[in-house]
Amino acid sequence: MTKYSMPLGSTIGFKHQHPERTAQRAGVGIFSDEHFQVWPNRTSMARSIRMQQQRKHHLTDWRPLVKLGDGEGY
């Protein structure tokens, strides 16, 4: 898995190499960067996101760049 981060302002208009299997989450703190992670495939990313949705929502939860379909990750 590849991980990278950048300031929020830099994410506007940024072209991710693999947006279909990339997820984003907020950093901790008011001036923290946005964090991105690229999974090896969309199925594993969807499963990770669905697993975190089974608990209470947290600011640092992963959000997919390309919205998950209704049946993905189950």
Distance CA 60, CA 25 (A): 5
Report the greatest alpha carbon distance in the chain: 36
Distance CA 5, CA 26 (A): 10
Residue-range domain boundaries for the chain? 2-64
Q: pLDDT of 21-60, one tens digit each?
A: 999 999 888 889 999 999 999 999 999 999 999 999 998 9
Q: What's the pLDDT at 30? A: 84
